[in-house]
């Protein structure tokens, strides 16, 4: 966004998208002159010359101040830069033996899902950690992560309230003594969400949709099972997080509906990277990164023929799912066809 763009939006558009701008109007005696269909510049013409003098208002200076206020607040809230993130690039480093990685560079655009596959201990979580850290040759792999083809501002590493990256990690421990409701509300409030009640309900419903065993709003988060807390974090990330980059470390072992979880996460034009041992999740991605001995050895596109195989795998998966459910509910397993 440029200054000119902001000054050309109507006040309705501005306040809808950037509610914090209302404070600027209030501080500058302009709130009573608000005409929703007008731009900020047009609005300034509603102030007579006498009033301008009385309130020490200079329209030109006020336009600049309006823009500066917008920039400062957006940066503080982490809004603006995040809107502008179009792509992420991974530049190679070295594997565990110190050999250069076998790819030249990998650029991932918004709306793309990348799976990270490889044996246990091969470095999948390490790659996700490099991205979260926005590595700059300062991690064990010596990789570099670029945002929009340029080295990223290091401030992202420290900003916790408005992170560039939302991370769903392998080990999630809640240490806070909160109920599910309090946890979501707190999170929604810290994101400056307006309709907290509605959002809380939505996240809660989706989380229960993903979790095998249902839980309620008043459950303390410390007593959620591994799968339930994973489901809660996924719903929370999908619905509340404005982070353009989502990193997922193995959703498959959490006993949640992983296909639904992935659909929920990818519905929002984000850059998604997911480490997985699950062939179904791997094939749902647009591309997959193969990791061995700590290094990326290959980047492959998911072939169209593979997408067709996905359906077969899903059938098998359904079968295993139904057998698991039978066992879980104490049935004796009968013979079946495959």
Ligand X SMILES: Nc1ncnc2c1ncn2[C@@H]1O[C@H](COP(=O)(O)OP(=O)(O)OP(=O)(O)O)[C@@H](O)[C@H]1O
**Residues near ligand X, by CB under 6 A:** 94-96, 118, 120-126, 140-141, 275, 294-295
Residue 295 interacts, among ligand X, Mg ion, none and using kind-specific CB cut-offs from 5 to 8 Å, with ligand X
C-alpha angle 261/110/148, rounded to 5°?
140
Instruction: Please identify, among the stretches 4-12, 25-33, 124-132, 205-213, the one whose residues bind Mg ion according to the rule CB under 5 A.
Output: 124-132
CA 249 to chain centre: 13
What residues contact residue 223 under an 8 Å CB cut-off, 6+ apart? none
- Cα torsion at 71, 159, 84, 154 (round to 10°)? 100
Least CB distance to ligand X at residue 227 (A): 17
Q: Which stretch binds Mg ion (CB under 5 A): 119-127, 218-226, 286-294, 306-314?
A: 119-127
Nearer to Mg ion, 124 or 143 (CB): 124
CA distance 210 to 257: 5
- When asked if residue 125 is in the footprint of Mg ion (CB under 5 A), the reply is yes
Say whether residue 169 binds Mg ion (CB under 5 A). no
Give the residue ranges of DSSP H helices in 55-179: 59-77, 79-83, 124-133, 155-158
Which of ligand X, Mg ion, none does 228 bind, CB closer than 5 to 8 A by kind?
none
Q: 122 is in the binding site of which of Mg ion, ligand X, none (Cβ under 5 to 8 A by kind)?
A: ligand X
> Phi then psi for 247, rounded to 5 degrees?
-110, 130
* In the complex, minimum distance from the CB of residue 174 to ligand X, in angstroms, rounded to a whole number: 21
Q: How far apart are CA 197 and CA 315, in angstroms?
A: 38
Provide, rounded to whole angstroms, the least separation between the CB of residue 131 and ligand X.
Answer: 12
Under the binding rule (CB under 5 A), the answer on residue 253 touching Mg ion is: no
The backbone region for 212, taken as left when phi is positive above 0, alpha when psi lies in -120 to 50, beta otherwise, is alpha
Contact partner, 171, from ligand X, Mg ion, none, Cβ < 5-8 Å per class: none
Taking the least distance from each CB to ligand X, the nearer of 93 and 227 is 93
3 or 253: CB nearest ligand X: 253
The entry of Mg ion, ligand X, none that residue 201 binds, CB within 5 to 8 Å by partner kind: none
Q: Check residue 139 for interaction with Mg ion (CB under 5 A).
A: no
**Residue 124 or 163 having the CB closest to ligand X:** 124
What is the closest distance, in whole angstroms, from the C-beta atom of residue 112 to Mg ion in the complex?
21
Name which of 234 and 275 has its Cβ closer to ligand X: 275
Instruction: Give the 3-state secondary structure of residue 87.
Output: strand
Q: Which stretch binds Mg ion (CB under 5 A): 62-70, 76-84, 90-98, 123-131?
A: 123-131
Q: How far apart are CA 274 and CA 125, in angstroms?
A: 9
Distance in angstroms between the alpha carbons of the first and the last residue of the chain: 56
Q: At what angle do helices 196-210 and 180-190 cross, to 10 degrees?
A: 130
Please say whether the dihedral angle defined by the alpha carbons of residues 37, 40, 44 and 47, taken in this order, is positive or negative: positive
| 235 vs 251 by CB, closer to ligand X | 251
**Comparison of 171 and 334: residue with beta carbon closer to ligand X:** 171
**DSSP type of residue 79:** H
- In the complex, the smallest distance separating the C-beta of residue 233 from ligand X, rounded to whole angstroms, is 17
Query: Footprint of Mg ion on this chain (CB under 5 A)?
Result: 124-125
């Amino acid at each position: 966004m440029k200054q000119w763009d902001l000054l050309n939006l109507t006040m309705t558009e501005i306040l809808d998208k950037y509610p914090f701008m209302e404070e600027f109007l209030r501080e500058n005696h302009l709130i009573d002159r608000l005409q929703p269909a007008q731009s900020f510049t047009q609005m300034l013409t509603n102030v007579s010359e006498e009033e301008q003098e009385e309130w020490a208002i200079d329209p030109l200076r006020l336009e600049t101040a309006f823009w500066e206020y917008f920039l400062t607040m957006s940066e503080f809230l982490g809004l603006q830069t995040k809107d502008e993130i179009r792509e992420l690039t991974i530049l190679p480093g070295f594997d565990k033996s110190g050999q250069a990685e076998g790819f030249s560079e990998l650029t991932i655009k918004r709306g793309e899902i990348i799976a990270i596959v490889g044996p246990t201990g091969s470095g999948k979580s390490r790659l996700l950690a490099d991205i979260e850290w926005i590595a700059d040759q300062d991690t064990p792999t010596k990789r570099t992560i670029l945002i929009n083809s340029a080295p990223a501002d290091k401030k992202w590493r420290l900003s916790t309230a408005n992170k560039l990256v939302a991370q769903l990690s392998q080990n999630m421990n809640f240490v806070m003594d909160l109920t599910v409701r309090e946890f979501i509300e707190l999170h929604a409030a810290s994101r400056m969400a307006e309709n907290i009640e509605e959002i809380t309900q939505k996240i809660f419903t989706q989380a229960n949709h993903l979790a095998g065993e249902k839980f309620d709003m008043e459950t303390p988060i410390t007593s959620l099972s591994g799968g339930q807390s994973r489901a809660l974090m996924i719903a929370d990330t999908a619905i509340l997080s404005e982070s353009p980059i989502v990193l997922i470390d193995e959703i498959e072992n959490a006993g949640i509906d992983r296909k639904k979880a992935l659909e929920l996460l990818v519905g929002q034009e984000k850059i998604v990277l997911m480490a997985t041992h699950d062939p179904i999740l791997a094939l749902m991605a647009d591309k997959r990164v193969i990791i061995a001995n700590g290094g990326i050895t290959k980047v492959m596109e998911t072939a169209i023929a593979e997408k067709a195989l996905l359906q077969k795998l899903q059938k098998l998966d359904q079968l295993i799912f139904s057998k698991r459910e039978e066992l879980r509910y104490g049935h004796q397993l009968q013979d079946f066809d495959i």
